[in-house]
């Protein structure tokens, strides 16, 4: 009986073991099937990764060309030096050669050489000559890959417009970042075979995925006009010991920006070197100073425009029909608005004058009266109609918006100060764009640089387009404004912008910066030509000039000098004096 019980027990154990073995085999078989069928791609990729070394081939960034095809941003061949730990045969020699050739500390290089990684980058943007020198040593485990570094042939020209790229050749500021998607291209790859220890197999098959170069970008900027404008701006900045000077030159008919100068500019090929000495002690940080150096005041900063804004007030008044050129005004040298005495720039006043004469004299009381006739609500509606309250939509990053009182907060005093360009702020670009739209027949243009992008193989061309809003003022109002602003230059406060043989229109301004107690000013002049058919408009702002600071005295002559150079260049020829003087608004 005991024997039978033992036999049954043993048979039961054997059955359990067999069952467990079967289950184990079934599980292993299932796992094997799962790995072979469902995970095969994953493990094949892991095996491939183990035996492959991958290096990036950088794509050539697209060039930037001016409107005439002059290259203003291109590439230079440089090298990336890297080490592959498992392939290094003589660490000491590698450390010695790389540190001496690249001018790096031995400790820094040794740390990278001894780091166990698939690939460690030692240096980027190395001159090709040095890269070739390192390649000639034929050091095991040292890779020299050719790369591209951005190069700007004109140095500091249009630096705050073009912008620059970082160590990865990616745009950081300006047009370089705005058109990144067009310029950057697509990187390629080099795939090489390695053994189980990670050592590259000599003479093994190498797989290459060729890079796709970026597209070339053609912009509206003209190198020659930019150069003229930059020279003129530097000259007046030095003469007047000004903080900075900005100049914008634009085609008022279509919004193409021909030049945008903001001196002092910086060296695009060395953008991380400050162009000013940092203050000792607790001054701004180095990064703050760099950000300030890279900043584009023409679009990033706002200011009180002063009397150049009278162009907008005059256009609104004429369009609304609340004023005519022959309407008469009295200027005793001030206006009393509520409890405020607001002075004219001419202490003794201009006496009796027509509206036309008031514009020519840049008389504050006249414009205060026009503002009061319009009223806050209607005046504000014209700001909206003119496109003044938003952004211009320029193809540059960081554009600032107009800082204006809310409509419900505009009382009689605010209405008075706004009418002659105080108590609110706009960008220089917004001012010149709105003025362009008023003098070009009433079309609100979008200021821009981008014209077209062309693929590297020239097979694809993309032309950029920009919105235009028609009818912001009538053609009659636009024609009247052209006439009035020509009179400002020929006989009024802008006489220093006059050029023999040319019809120049324009408006001067001298605005006091905040706080008023500092007695610091921005002098400006906005001019266009020819006055009867504007093809070019320019605005100069001189920030904190020393000594004489009136816009009509120091800013207007700069635009005259600029026009003297660029009008013939643009094919706008001078006329006989008799023809010019014979121009009549109603004729």
Which pLDDT belongs to residue 148?
86
Q: Euclidean distance between the first and final Cα of the chain, in Å?
A: 138
Contact 404, 368 (CB under 8 A): no
Question: Within a 10 A sphere around the Cβ of 71, how many other Cβ atoms?
Answer: 15
Q: Which residues in 254-377 belong to E strands, given as ranges?
A: 257-263, 328-331, 334-337, 340-343, 351-354
Cis before 515? omega within 30: yes
Residue bearing tokens 């698939």? 118
* For residue 355, pLDDT beyond 80: yes
Q: How far is CA 261 from CA 157, 304, 446, 536, in A?
A: 8, 19, 19, 16
Ordered structural domains, the chain, with CATH: 53-194+206-219 (3.90.1310.10), 223-264+300-581 (3.40.710.10)
Query: What rounded mean pLDDT belongs to the chain?
Result: 90
* For residue 586, pLDDT beyond 80: no
If you average pLDDT over residues 345-354, what whole number do you get? 95
Residue bearing tokens 């240096």? 123
pLDDT-derived band at 6, boundaries 50, 70, 90? low
* For residue 74, pLDDT beyond 60: yes
C-alpha closest to that of 61 among 143, 153, 179: 179
* For residue 28, pLDDT beyond 90: no
Which pLDDT belongs to residue 59?
87
C-alpha closest to that of 406 among 377, 433, 375, 386: 377
Which pLDDT belongs to residue 402?
97
pLDDT one-digit tens code per residue, 82-130: 998 888 989 999 999 999 999 999 999 999 998 888 789 999 889 989 9
**Residue 158 falls in which region: left (phi positive, over 0), alpha (psi -120 to 50) or beta:** left
If you average pLDDT over residues 150-155, what whole number do you get? 97
If you average pLDDT over residues 429-447, what whole number do you get? 98
Which pLDDT belongs to residue 584?
42
Whole-angstrom distance, CA of residue 433 vs CA of residue 389: 12
pLDDT-derived band at 397, boundaries 50, 70, 90? very high
* For residue 9, pLDDT beyond 70: no
- Cα angle: 50, vertex 53, 54; to 5 degrees: 125
C-alpha closest to that of 161 among 364, 385, 397: 397
- Cα angle: 59, vertex 65, 66; to 5 degrees: 165
pLDDT one-digit tens code per residue, 164-217: 999 788 999 999 999 999 999 888 887 766 555 445 555 455 577 888 999 999
* For residue 63, pLDDT beyond 70: yes
If you average pLDDT over residues 329-334, what whole number do you get? 96
Contact 400, 300 (CB under 8 A): yes
- Percent of the chain surpassing pLDDT 70: 88
Cβ-Cβ contacts under 8 Å for 400 (sequence gap 6 or more): 299, 300, 301, 302, 391, 427
Helix-helix angle 428-439:376-386, to 10 degrees = 90
Active-site residue among 307, 362, 419, 511? Answer: 307
Cis before 481? omega within 30: no
pLDDT-derived band at 18, boundaries 50, 70, 90? confident
Cβ-Cβ contacts under 8 Å for 310 (sequence gap 6 or more): 359, 362, 367, 419, 420, 421, 507
Residue bearing tokens 């950088």? 58
pLDDT one-digit tens code per residue, 292-308: 999 999 999 999 999 99
Q: With the CA atoms of 138, 141, 146 and 151 taken in that order, what torsion angle do they form, in degrees rounded to the nearest 10?
A: -100
Which pLDDT belongs to residue 338?
94
Residue bearing tokens 């952004």? 391
* Alpha-carbon 469 to chain mean position: 23
Number of DSSP helices (H) and strands (E) in the chain, helices first: 21, 19
307 is known as an active-site residue: yes
pTM, whole model, 2 decimals?
Answer: 0.86
* For residue 587, pLDDT beyond 50: no
* For residue 351, pLDDT beyond 90: yes
Cβ-Cβ contacts under 8 Å for 469 (sequence gap 6 or more): 387, 443, 444
DSSP 8-state code for residue 289? H
- Percent of the chain surpassing pLDDT 90: 74
Which pLDDT belongs to residue 53?
58
Which pLDDT belongs to residue 1?
52
Which pLDDT belongs to residue 174?
98
Which pLDDT belongs to residue 283?
76
Sign of the four-CA dihedral 52, 53, 56, 57: negative
Q: Helix (H, G, I), strand (E, B), or coil: what is residue 30? A: helix
Residue bearing tokens 């050719």? 146
Contact 551, 307 (CB under 8 A): yes
């Amino acid at each position: 009986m005991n024997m039978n019980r033992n036999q049954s027990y043993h048979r039961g154990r054997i059955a359990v073991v067999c069952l467990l073995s079967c289950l184990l085999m079934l599980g292993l078989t299932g796992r094997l099937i799962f790995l072979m069928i469902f995970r095969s791609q994953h493990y094949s990729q892991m095996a491939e990764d183990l035996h492959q070394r991958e290096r990036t081939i950088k794509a050539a960034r697209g060039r930037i060309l001016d409107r005439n095809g002059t290259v203003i941003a291109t590439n230079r061949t440089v090298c990336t030096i890297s080490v592959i730990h498992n392939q290094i045969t003589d660490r000491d020699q590698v450390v010695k050669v790389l540190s001496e050739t690249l001018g790096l500390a031995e400790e820094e290089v040794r740390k990278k050489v001894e780091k166990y990684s698939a690939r460690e980058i030692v240096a980027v943007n190395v001159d090709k000559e040095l890269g070739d020198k390192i390649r000639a040593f034929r050091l095991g485990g040292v890779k020299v890959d050719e790369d591209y570094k951005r190069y700007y042939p004109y140095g500091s020209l249009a630096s705050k417009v073009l912008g620059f790229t970082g160590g990865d050749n990616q745009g950081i500021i300006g047009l370089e970042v705005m058109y990144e998607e067009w310029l950057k291209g697509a990187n390629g790859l080099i795939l090489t075979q390695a053994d189980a220890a990670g050592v590259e197999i000599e003479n093994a098959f190498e797989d290459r995925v060729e890079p796709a170069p970026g597209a070339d970008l053609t912009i509206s900027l003209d190198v020659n006009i930019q150069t003229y404008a930059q020279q003129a701006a530097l000259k007046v900045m030095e003469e007047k010991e000004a903080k900075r000077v900005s100049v914008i030159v634009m085609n008022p008919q279509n919004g193409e920006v021909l030049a945008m100068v903001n001196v002092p500019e910086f060296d695009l090929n060395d953008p991380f070197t400050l162009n000013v000495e940092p203050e000792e002690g607790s001054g701004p940080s180095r990064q703050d100073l760099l950000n300030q150096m890279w900043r584009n005041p023409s679009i990033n900063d706002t200011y009180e425009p002063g009397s150049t804004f009278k162009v907008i007030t005059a256009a609104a008044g004429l369009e609304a029909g609340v004023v005519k050129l022959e309407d008469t005004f009295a200027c005793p040298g001030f206006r009393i608005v509520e409890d405020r005495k607001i002075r004219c720039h001419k202490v003794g006043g201009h006496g009796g004058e027509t509206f036309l004469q008031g514009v020519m004299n840049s008389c504050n009381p006249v414009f205060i009266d026009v503002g009061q006739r319009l009223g806050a609500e209607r005046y504000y509606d014209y700001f909206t109609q003119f496109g003044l309250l938003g952004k211009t939509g320029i193809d540059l990053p960081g554009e600032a918006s107009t800082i204006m009182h809310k409509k419900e907060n505009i009382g009689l005093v605010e209405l008075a100060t706004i009418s002659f360009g105080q108590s609110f702020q706009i960008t220089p670009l917004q001012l010149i764009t709105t003025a362009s739209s008023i003098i070009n027949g009433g079309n609100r243009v979008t200021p821009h640089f981008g014209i077209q992008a062309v693929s590297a193989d020239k097979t694809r061309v993309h032309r950029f387009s920009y919105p235009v809003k028609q009818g912001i003022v009538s053609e009659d109002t636009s024609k009247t404004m052209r006439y009035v602003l020509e009179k400002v230059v020929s006989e009024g406060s802008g006489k220093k912008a006059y050029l023999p043989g040319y019809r120049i229109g324009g408006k001067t301004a001298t605005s006091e910066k905040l706080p008023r107690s500092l007695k610091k000013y921005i002098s400006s002049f906005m001019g266009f030509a020819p006055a009867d058919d504007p093809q070019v408009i320019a605005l100069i702002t001189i920030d904190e000039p020393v000594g004489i600071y009136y816009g009509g005295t120091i800013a207007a002559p700069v635009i005259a000098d600029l026009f003297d150079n660029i009008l013939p260049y643009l094919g706008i020829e001078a006329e006989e004096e008799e023809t010019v003087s014979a121009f009549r608004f109603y004729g």
